[in-house]
Amino acid sequence: PKAEPCVLVIFGATGDLTWRKLIPSLFSLARKDCLAEDFRILGIGRREMSDDAFRDDLRGRLTASGSDKGTAEAGAFTEDAWNAFAASISYLSGDFFDPETHRRLAERMKDFPGANRLFYLATAPSAAPEIVRRLAEVGLNREERGFSRIVLEKPFGHDLASAQELNRLIAEDFDESQVYRIDHYLGKETVQNVLFFRFGNALFESVWNRNHIEYVEITAAESLGVGHRAGYYDESGALRDMVANHLMQLLALTAMDAPVSLEADSVHDKKSEVWRSIRPMTPEQVASRTVRAQYVAGTVGGEQVPGWLEEPDVPASSRTETYVALDLRIDNWRWAGVPFYLRTGKRLAQQVTEIAVHFHKPPLSFFPCQDCFQSNVIILRIQPDEGISLTFGAKQPGTSRRAVPVSMDFCYQGNFEDPLSAYAVLLLDALRGDSTQFTRGDGVEAQWRIMTPIATAWAEQDQEPMPTYVAGSDGPHQAEGLLEWNGHAWRSIA
């Protein structure tokens, strides 16, 4: 179904997120005829600019080449399609911290057809409380004649206390049903498929528990560095940038119980139960069950790259982690005793995001098996080469009595059409009022309840040398140790 008519107000209209993700995704939705005829976009930014200048700027970005290009999200560019889409875009210049901007915004809203509005905060996180309050001051939070929703980007706070405070501030002016905390991983087709794979088939769910599963690995390895975002990344680090949101979501989807229905609250309830079942670590547990590290110069994809501390805009004293590995335990009936190993990092050997579910070994082994720990694994490949594979041991042909690992594979490519981009999916959901694939307020707090003790313990170990890994490698050797003492091993990402 098409989205309802609405005005989408983007705060931070001249920023990166707008031209890299939001506008290309909206453009692709427009061309697929998913947006209502009366759909309008109003960008707000500090820079003085006319409507036309704003449209031209966006057009230039979409058609630029190389790294300045609005990403593939937009699909093929045609002049006619762009002109039709661009007619819905306008611009308002103003400082988000100035009440006058919000008064002018409220005035401007009267020019648009309909009364539905979606406010997208594509700004620095520090601007969010101010914008939320000012919107309420001019009455734009009210839902008298149509809906009023806000979309908030990550990071949602930087620890438990700040996330709680932000939730409290938002709740003063907006009902939870109006709030959409975005995590773009939830818009990925393969991430959404985790629930369909588990609960759309009777085959897997009956073995999806501690009786059959030995351990679970969740990997989000990136070969890329931080690009031009070193300033942001130095403040956040891998734990806050990737684990506190994307990896926590992958973990919840893998571990949650079946929801009562696919209604947003039913799904959110089950995810929150998973996060609440993970006991926050003590400082001793942080020492033994977490690894953090920074990359040093190396070769990635044939290219020589500098180490983290040599990157532009990174202080030589930076103790920001560019790699994290964790051994988390979910203390409930389904998962007690099953390690969930999470790892993510920049400048690793490959770009790969996957969930690997390892089943127990057979109780007796008659067949000598090479690489047996790679057998009986279900791999949900999130990206790239999206797909699912099941590996198992098969008899090596001939007179041998050896078993060798083989696999059954499903690939998205060739079986399905190219999906919508994650941002397009989530924008459409927000326009339609479906918050299932967003994070509820108690969810972000539950995630921070797990992350904050880790970040705190690390901050207190500031005298200890920071582990390192060579750019282009699998990560620090300490991460191997995290699994070894349980008799487990990471899948190779090289």
Interatomic CA distance for residues 299 and 310, integer angstroms: 14
Q: What does the DSSP 8-state code read for residue 21?
A: I
Catalytic residue among 102, 158, 246, 358: 246
State which residue, 152 or 338, has the beta carbon closest to ligand BG6.
Answer: 152
Beta carbon nearer to ligand BG6, 307 or 345: 345
102 is in an annotated binding site: no
Dihedral sign of CA atoms 419, 422, 424, 427 in order: positive
Least distance to ligand BG6, CB of residue 180, Å: 16
Phi, psi torsion values for 135, nearest 5 degrees: -60, -40
Distance CA 136, CA 242 (A): 31
Does 462 count as an annotated binding residue? Answer: no
We find the least distance from the C-beta atom of residue 27 to ligand BG6, in angstroms, to be 19
Cis omega (within 30 of 0) for bond into 155: yes
Least separation, in Å, of the C-beta of 12 and ligand BG6? 15
Binding site annotation covers 360?
no
How far is 189 from 207, CA to CA, in rounded Å? Answer: 24
Residue 246 falls in the annotated catalytic set = yes
Alpha carbon distances (Å) from 104 to 98, 268, 371: 10, 37, 65
Q: How far is the CB of 159 from ligand BG6 (least distance, A)?
A: 17
Which residue, 21 or 440, is less far from ligand BG6 as judged by CB?
Answer: 21
Provide the minimum distance between the beta carbon of 400 and ligand BG6 in the complex, in angstroms, as a whole number: 41
Contact status, residue 5 vs residue 115, Cβ threshold 8 Å:
no
Sheet holding 403-411: strands in order across? Answer: 403-411, 387-395, 377-383, 352-359, 213-221, 339-345, 323-329, 290-296, 468-470
Closer CB to ligand BG6, residue 93 or residue 383? Answer: 383
Please give the residue whose beta carbon sits closest to ligand BG6 in the complex: 241
Residues binding ligand BG6 (CB under 6 A): 222, 241, 353
- 340 belongs to an annotated ligand binding site: no
346 annotated to bind ligand: yes
270 belongs to an annotated ligand binding site: no
Q: Residue 420 in contact with residue 73, Cβ under 8 Å? A: no
What are the start-end ranges of the E strands in 125-187? 148-152, 179-181
Judged by beta carbon, residue 236 or residue 290, the one nearer ligand BG6 is 236
Q: How far is the CB of 115 from ligand BG6 (least distance, A)?
A: 33
Q: Is 363 helix (H, G, I), strand (E, B) or coil?
A: coil
Q: Is 184 labeled as ligand-binding?
A: yes
| Cα–Cα nearest to 134, from 163, 182, 94 | 94
Q: How far is 405 from 380, CA to CA, in rounded Å?
A: 17
11 a known binding residue? no
**Residue closer to ligand BG6 (CB basis): 222 or 386:** 222
Shortest spacing between CB 225 and ligand BG6, in angstroms: 9
Contact 233, 311 (CB under 8 A): no
Q: Is 429 annotated as a binding residue?
A: no
Per DSSP, the residues of 173-238 read HS-GGGEEE--GGGGSHHHHHHHHHHHS-HHHHTT-STTTEEEEEEEEE-SS--TT-HHHHHHHHH
When the beta carbons of 69 and 488 are compared against ligand BG6, the nearer one is: 69
Binding residue numbers for NADP(+): 46, 95-96, 154
Binding residue numbers for substrate: 184, 188, 222, 241, 346
Binding residue numbers: 46, 95-96, 154, 184, 188, 222, 241, 346
Active site residues: 246
